[in-house]
Amino acid sequence: MTPIQSTCFIVLATIVLFAWNRLPVIAVACAAALSLWAAGLVTLEQAFAGFGDRAIVFIASLFVVSAALERTGVTAWASQFLIAWAGENSRARLLLLLMLAVACLTSVLSGSGAVAALMPVAVMASARLGQPPAQLLMPLAFCAHAGANLLLTGAPKNFLVSEALEDAGFEPFGFVEFAFAGVPLLAGTILVVLLFGKFLLPHRSSVRLPADFSQHAQTLVEHYGLRDGLFRLRIRESSSLVGVPVSILELGGSGELKLLAVQAPASELPVRDRAIMPNDYLLVRGDTQAVAEVAGRLHLAIREDVPSEAKPAAFNRRSGLAEVMVPPRSNLVGRSVYPGLTTESGDLVVLAVQRGGYEIDYTNAELKVGDTILLEGSWEALDLRLSDPDVLVVDSPDLVRRQAVPMGPGAKIAVGALLGLVLMLASNIVPPAVARLICACMLVICRVITVEQSYRAIHWTTVIMVGAMMPISTAMIESGTAKFVADELVSLVGSAGPIGLMAGLFVLTAFLGQIMSNTATTMLVIPIAMAAAAGMHVAPQPILIGLCVAGPHPS
């Protein structure tokens, strides 16, 4: 076979395997790269060159930055601020603001991250408005696609077409250049949804909807009968409790107030084997009157972030609650527990235990299979300790924190890093890949996100597939396949001019996007688009932006 025939055969086989969807996409992409090398269409260096391309660095860093903003609660804060501003009575206003918000978030984050951040808000709002969730959720997906075409950072494919333009000897796309197509696309999407959404969008309700943890603290407090509330009292320097050993600490006064734990001021972890020090915290359970009486008598300060009954004190930037269940064959079965008990690790406190939905009798408090335990501790301790096989976590503390504690620890640093990234990209001080890498490294250095968390945040399927698909573009160009397909396309739509060419490529991209990922589709069509533009003697920039608009939803 000729090089063109061999390339076409491998490309078609790759498309068929992607559409078949029985093999992992990474395996298909890597097999395509190795097949090109085995057929002599690319060298071994070219077959693996994609994994060292700057696009890989840009895409991997994009996932790290997105994860940092999500983990620190920045996206949760934005979504809750949005629904508070929009109100819950006007469907049109809420829908407009949701669509604008998801488009703006997608322009700097991944599309999936932006949609995931706003999904609970949309579901909650749809329930309060009495609307089917699809009426609000589907517009989020539509506007996420439009938002991906607002800025260079909107989707990996934006950077791929920009890199292809630069490799061909043209100036790469600017940071906001995609907005010339993205803004009209977004405006049109919003207009269609607002005018015809009620008629075009489905009215069915989903059986399974994402959980809303924004009021999770109140839910746990009511479920476990902690209606008197949880309070943190700070030890003043003038308090008579300073110097008293924790083991013999007694608050006295009304029996309606119960001491659960003494916590260190910095980490908020329980302390046991030392004396009380100034600025330590007392975690207590009781009614407001009893707390006020003890605070006045012992010269304690009620911490400012301790809310009223509507918002329990156990959820804040540093600490939270978690509900666990005792599974069969757990080593905890038969253990005695009571409120205020500190776990063996020393960093979690038992607040309450229930059996069959009712609080157990603590005079005979031996755990049984199926009992549920309410624990309090720092978010780090909850994430670390609840991986113990002796307990089953009801709701992931990490997921709860992201929604229930907006703008958590590191949020300001994450926002600052994002603003710095936008500034570097807008001013073109450094190449986009370098800007993204600097931002991701700063987030890791400042401990906003750990190295392990950044590894888990990267969507390795996308990263590996980009590297593995790049040899296809190289083979299509060097074998003449791209020029051959482009010439055929130009001859087919040549009488319609550049608009016909763009329409043909648009249809081809949209069709392939239904059976392949957005990244694979973009990598496949880019060389054809560049060759077709050269054959028709038109600028490639509009053609490449058209590919981004026609491509499937961003990852």
pLDDT digits (tens, 9 = 90+) for 98-112: 899 889 888 877 666
Q: Which of the residue ranges 265-279, 414-428, 442-456 would you say has the lowest mean pLDDT?
A: 265-279
The residue among 291 and 369 whose pLDDT is bigger is 369
How many angstroms separate the CA atoms of 384 and 483, rounded? Answer: 56
Q: Where are the alpha helices (DSSP H) in 344-459?
A: 379-385, 397-404, 411-427, 432-445, 451-457
Checking 415-418 for CB contacts under 8 A at 24+ apart, the result is 415/69, 415/74, 417/65, 417/68, 417/442, 417/443, 417/446, 417/448, 418/65, 418/69, 418/108
Average pLDDT value for residue range 334-352: 83
Burial of 239 (0-12, 13-18, 19+ CB in 10 A): buried
For residue 361, the model assigns a pLDDT of: 80
Q: Which helix (H) or strand (E) holds 41?
A: none
For residue 306, the model assigns a pLDDT of: 43
Q: Which of the residue ranges 79-93, 269-283, 318-332, 524-538 would you say has the lowest mean pLDDT?
A: 79-93
How many angstroms separate the CA atoms of 264 and 280, rounded? Answer: 5
pLDDT tens digits for 373-392? 999 888 888 888 888 889 99
Maximum average pLDDT range among 41-55, 116-130, 191-205, 226-240? 41-55
Q: Residue 267 — pLDDT band, cuts 50, 70, 90?
A: low
Distances (CA, A) of 45 to 36, 53, 471, 499: 12, 12, 10, 38
How many angstroms separate the CA atoms of 121 and 137, rounded? Answer: 10
Superfamily grouping for domain 216-394: Regulator of K+ conductance, C-terminal domain (3.30.70.1450)
Q: Is pLDDT at 124 greater than 70 in this prediction?
A: no
CA 456 to chain centre: 12
Domain ranges of the chain: 62-211+409-457, 216-394, 480-555
Average pLDDT value for residue range 74-87: 73
pTM of structure: 0.70
Contact 516/15 with Cβ under 8 angstroms?
yes
**Which residue reads 């803004």 in tokens?**
183
Q: What share of the chain is helix, strand, coil (3-state, %, to 5)?
A: 55, 10, 35
pLDDT tens digits for 146-159? 998 998 888 888 98
Residue 132 identity: P
Maximum average pLDDT range among 27-36, 70-79, 272-281? 27-36
Average pLDDT value for residue range 65-78: 81
Q: Could you give the count of Cα atoms lying within 13 Å of 64 in the half-sphere of its Cβ?
A: 30
Contact 117/105 with Cβ under 8 angstroms?
yes
How many residues does this entry show for the chain? 555
Average pLDDT value for residue range 285-302: 84
Q: Is pLDDT at 364 greater than 90 in this prediction?
A: no
- Angle, in degrees to the nearest 10, between helices 3-20 and 25-38: 170
Q: Residue 190 — pLDDT band, cuts 50, 70, 90?
A: very high
How high is the mean pLDDT of the chain?
A: 83
Residue 378, beta-bridge partner list: 319
Beta-sheet strand order (sheet of 358-359): 358-359, 348-355, 372-378, 319-325, 392-393
CA proximity to 490, closest of 447, 533, 523, 457: 533
The residue among 365 and 299 whose pLDDT is bigger is 299
